Chains A and B, each alone.
Chain A
Amino acid sequence: MTWLRLAIANLRLSPLTSAVNMLLMALGTASIVLLMLAGSQLSETMTRDAGGIDLVLGSTGSPVQLVLSAVYHADLPPGNISLEDAEQWADDPRVRTAIPLSLGDSYRGHRIVGTTPEYAELYGAGLASGRFWNETLEAVVGSAAAQSAGLSPGASFEGSHGLESGGQRHDSHPYRVVGVLEPTGTVVDRLILTSLESVWDLHGAGDDDHDDEHGHDDDDDEHGHDDDDDEHGHDDDDDEHGHDGDGHEDDDHADDAHDHEDEPEHDSGHDRHDSSAEITAMLLTYQSPMAALTLPRQVNAEGKLQAAAPAIEIARILQLVGIGLDGLSAFAWVLILTAALSVFAALYGSLRARRSDLAILRCLGATRGELLLALILEGLLLSLVGVVLGFLVAHGAMELLGGWLESTRGVVLTGWTWIPEETLLLFSLFGVGAIAAAIPAVQAYRTDVARVLAEA
């Protein structure tokens, strides 16, 4: 306690120097911790959002883009695919579950996903209130989406074209909210789910122009509407859902290979579509891990569709993100090194002025070892305060950043977490402080008391 009080008193004697040292250490620590928290939670979030999906079927193009768009809803999809083509693979015995997704619209930044109730089940998202859809243009809203968009059962809203905000609104085809999902901490929280038919009805199933909704192939008409007066290509004004004669002949699939009535696991919930119906992606889970060896290769070899494994693409994305994080981490460690050098300089610089103090401490009965520890204690104190401050700043900043990212990007990050690597970092940084103080401490240990007193 004696030495601790003395160390604190000595640090208080040079408040500016001490504050600068602590601040440097805090900045370096905060940078590293922030990066560690972001990296760790990003990895966790991506894995959690993959929801056990083994394979994504979608349009040919970039597999990363396909996974980002269909699994994380963080990118535009590469294009649409034929439902019929996708269902050929959904019926494969190696496939346990197949969930279709049809994208194209959004509401206040939340994507409207045409799918089946199994999609919510994939993430363990039960209903917090209401029910799932029974009819077209009924929607079930994820918890975060419901909160940010102010939607609850009974509310209605109009979706907008495109997956980003600012698209043209479907003024005449409002959705009606019939349910709200429980929070899951996954991507489904920020989505608005509806039936495939709702999406088809709004955009005209089988309409080739639907490809253009994703904005990848169209030069001037993002949503490919042939008729300016009929923004969704609805041929029949009396038909509320705009089905043209060729678009949704239920019988087309009622009795053929796409009839899944006896296979609930494969039931995509779409009870009416024609052979030209399109979806954005199909999410598959395997019956057995062995399927991973053959199924993706077969799908890709056939060429109509692209198969992308989220696990592989996550690893690829995290590797890319990791390179960036490593670069930033290196910079943060430079800050730590600067702080350590600053602690060293402060203690070493003060030694000359304090030589007589050290000498008098020896006269009062302090041993050489105690002087050594006293200096190390000062270095530790400087780093302790800086490191603790850095951890607090990092966690606080992560909480603020997480709140902002959740509201704007739907990415869930929190500062209220402690990852195991932080414990290691904590002790490492104390070690840095002790090492920075080591040379001054050895100098203190070697103080020639008689000479110092004689010179004084």
Chain B
Amino acid sequence: MLDKKTPSIDVSDLTFSYADKTILNIPQFTLDRASSVAVIGPSGCGKTTFLHLLAGLIRPNAGRIEVLGQRLDELKAASLDRFRGRHIGLVFQRLHLLPALNVRDNVLLAQRLSGSGGDAGRVAALFDQLELSGLEHRMPSMLSQGQAQRVAIARALVHGPELIMADEPTSALDDGHAERALALLQSSARSVGAALLVVTHDQRVRGRLDGELDLEVAP
């Protein structure tokens, strides 16, 4: 849907307030296609709020957000949900795998909700790539933290999103797991040509991505 020059994210004059308190104020931010950025800052500076705004889960008080060339404020609620499902992959610190579904169905559900359901070959390839083969029929409660994280990443990638956003993907992990999780996100985004935005306060992430947006010092 995009030409190569259209940025994955283009934000200008963004303001978000809650209870008369300005949580977020970003005059300008751009993330180019297939590039990556770490959104950093201390707790409470609005990192997660920024991710939610970019995902269309909440609406800003003012400003413009364009994701993959689409102005989010032009979309109605249901269309915004569809847009998110089709073009964005989200990974959270708490992985939120659906406990009622096994690994395979968790991933397939995401594929179906994105409207690109039925590509079993892609699911199998992704499982191979993320070393999940053999775990397809396990329930989430039977997975290790590392396995569950890979399933969450598989779920975010299965529909071939053009933008991957992760919220504190390494915060609760030890160094080894944090390194692997970050590497996995980067390689996965690269493999599908997606832009990657990682919201984190984890110092271990600093310097690992193409750019940084420090919300504490955001102009």
Residue on A nearest B77 in the bound complex, by CB? A368
A366–B114 alpha-carbon span in the complex (Å):
8
Decide: B81 and A365 in contact? CB cutoff 8 A.
Answer: yes
Whether a CB of chain A sits under 8 angstroms from the CB of B12 is: no
Q: Which residues of A contact B48 (CB under 8 A)?
A: 453-454
Whether a CB of chain A sits under 8 angstroms from the CB of B98 is: yes
Q: Which residues of B contact A357 (CB under 8 A)?
A: 96, 98-100
Encoded as 1 (CB less than 8 Å from any B CB) or 0, chain A from 1 to 38 comes to 01001100110110000000000000000000000000
Decide: B100 and A12 in contact? CB cutoff 8 A.
Answer: yes
Whether a CB of chain B sits under 8 angstroms from the CB of A360 is: yes
A81–B129 alpha-carbon span in the complex (Å):
98
Residue on A nearest B53 in the bound complex, by CB? A450
Q: Which residues of B contact A428 (CB under 8 A)?
A: none
Residue on B nearest A451 in the bound complex, by CB? B58
Whether a CB of chain B sits under 8 angstroms from the CB of A367 is: yes
Q: Which residues of A contact B96 (CB under 8 A)?
A: 356-357, 359-360, 453, 456
Q: Which residues of A contact B58 (CB under 8 A)?
A: 450
Decide: B52 and A361 in contact? CB cutoff 8 A.
Answer: no
Decide: A365 and B77 in contact? CB cutoff 8 A.
Answer: no
How many inter-chain contacts with C-beta < 8 Å in the A-B complex? 79
A10–B114 alpha-carbon span in the complex (Å):
21
Interface residue ranges of A380-399 to B (CB < 8 Å): none
Q: Which residues of B contact A9 (CB under 8 A)?
A: 98, 100-101, 105
CB distance from B7 to the nearest CB of A (A): 22
Whether a CB of chain B sits under 8 angstroms from the CB of A364 is: yes
Q: Which residues of A contact B57 (CB under 8 A)?
A: 362-363, 449-450, 453
Whether a CB of chain B sits under 8 angstroms from the CB of A166 is: no
Decide: B109 and A2 in contact? CB cutoff 8 A.
Answer: yes
CB distance from B148 to the nearest CB of A (A): 13
Whether a CB of chain A sits under 8 angstroms from the CB of B218 is: no
Whether a CB of chain B sits under 8 angstroms from the CB of A369 is: yes
Whether a CB of chain A sits under 8 angstroms from the CB of B55 is: yes
Contact of B55 among A5, A363, A369 (CB under 8 A): A363
Residue on B nearest A10 in the bound complex, by CB? B100
CB distance from B96 to the nearest CB of A (A): 4
Known contacts A6-B100, A13-B100; A366 and B94 CB within 8 A of each other: no
Q: Which residues of A contact B105 (CB under 8 A)?
A: 5, 9
Decide: B112 and A2 in contact? CB cutoff 8 A.
Answer: yes
Q: Which residues of B contact A363 (CB under 8 A)?
A: 55, 57, 84, 90
Encoded as 1 (CB less than 8 Å from any A CB) or 0, chain B from 13 to 29 comes to 00000000000000000
Residue on A nearest B155 in the bound complex, by CB? A364
A11–B135 alpha-carbon span in the complex (Å):
23
Residue on B nearest A357 in the bound complex, by CB? B98
Q: Which residues of B contact A366 (CB under 8 A)?
A: 81, 85, 113
Encoded as 1 (CB less than 8 Å from any A CB) or 0, chain B from 80 to 121 comes to 011011100010101010111100010001101111010000
Known contacts A9-B105, A453-B92, A454-B48; A364 and B110 CB within 8 A of each other: yes
CB distance from B166 to the nearest CB of A (A): 12
CB distance from B17 to the nearest CB of A (A): 14
Contact of B113 among A5, A10, A364, A369 (CB under 8 A): A364
Decide: B94 and A456 in contact? CB cutoff 8 A.
Answer: yes
Encoded as 1 (CB less than 8 Å from any A CB) or 0, chain B from 57 to 86 comes to 110000000000000000001100110111
A453–B90 alpha-carbon span in the complex (Å):
12
A6–B105 alpha-carbon span in the complex (Å):
9
A360–B82 alpha-carbon span in the complex (Å):
13
Contact of A360 among B49, B98, B100, B117 (CB under 8 A): B98
Residue on B nearest A362 in the bound complex, by CB? B81
Q: Which residues of B contact A13 (CB under 8 A)?
A: 99-100
Residue on B nearest A359 in the bound complex, by CB? B96
A12–B105 alpha-carbon span in the complex (Å):
14
Decide: B52 and A453 in contact? CB cutoff 8 A.
Answer: yes
CB distance from A14 to the nearest CB of B (A): 9
Decide: A368 and B109 in contact? CB cutoff 8 A.
Answer: no
Residue on A nearest B100 in the bound complex, by CB? A9
Q: Which residues of A contact B101 (CB under 8 A)?
A: 6, 9
CB distance from A10 to the nearest CB of B (A): 5
CB distance from A349 to the nearest CB of B (A): 16
A366–B167 alpha-carbon span in the complex (Å):
20
Q: Which residues of B contact A454 (CB under 8 A)?
A: 48, 52
CB distance from A397 to the nearest CB of B (A): 34
Interface residue ranges of A62-115 to B (CB < 8 Å): none
Q: Which residues of A contact B115 (CB under 8 A)?
A: 365
Q: Which residues of B contact A10 (CB under 8 A)?
A: 100
Q: Which residues of B contact A367 (CB under 8 A)?
A: 77-78, 81-82
Residue on B nearest A11 in the bound complex, by CB? B100
Q: Which residues of A contact B99 (CB under 8 A)?
A: 13, 357
Q: Which residues of A contact B155 (CB under 8 A)?
A: 364
CB distance from A96 to the nearest CB of B (A): 71
Known contacts A450-B57, A453-B57, A454-B48; A365 and B82 CB within 8 A of each other: yes
CB distance from B191 to the nearest CB of A (A): 20
A369–B155 alpha-carbon span in the complex (Å):
22
A450–B101 alpha-carbon span in the complex (Å):
23
Q: Which residues of A contact B117 (CB under 8 A)?
A: 2
Q: Which residues of A contact B92 (CB under 8 A)?
A: 360, 453, 456
Q: Which residues of B contact A453 (CB under 8 A)?
A: 48, 52, 57, 92, 96, 167
Residue on A nearest B48 in the bound complex, by CB? A454
Decide: B84 and A365 in contact? CB cutoff 8 A.
Answer: yes
The contact sample of 24 A-B pairs, CB cut-off 8 A, is A2-B109, A2-B117, A6-B98, A6-B100, A6-B109, A10-B100, A356-B96, A357-B96, A357-B98, A357-B99, A361-B98, A361-B113, A362-B57, A364-B155, A365-B85, A365-B113, A368-B77, A450-B49, A450-B52, A450-B58, A453-B48, A453-B92, A456-B94, A456-B96
Chain B residues with CB under 8 Å of chain A are 48-49, 52, 55, 57-58, 77-78, 81-82, 84-86, 90, 92, 94, 96, 98-101, 105, 109-110, 112-115, 117, 155, 167
Other 6 A-B pairs with CB < 8 A, given A365-B81, A365-B86: A2-B113, A13-B100, A366-B81, A449-B52, A450-B58, A453-B48
The 5 closest A-B pairs by CB, nearest first: A365-B85, A9-B100, A365-B113, A360-B96, A13-B100
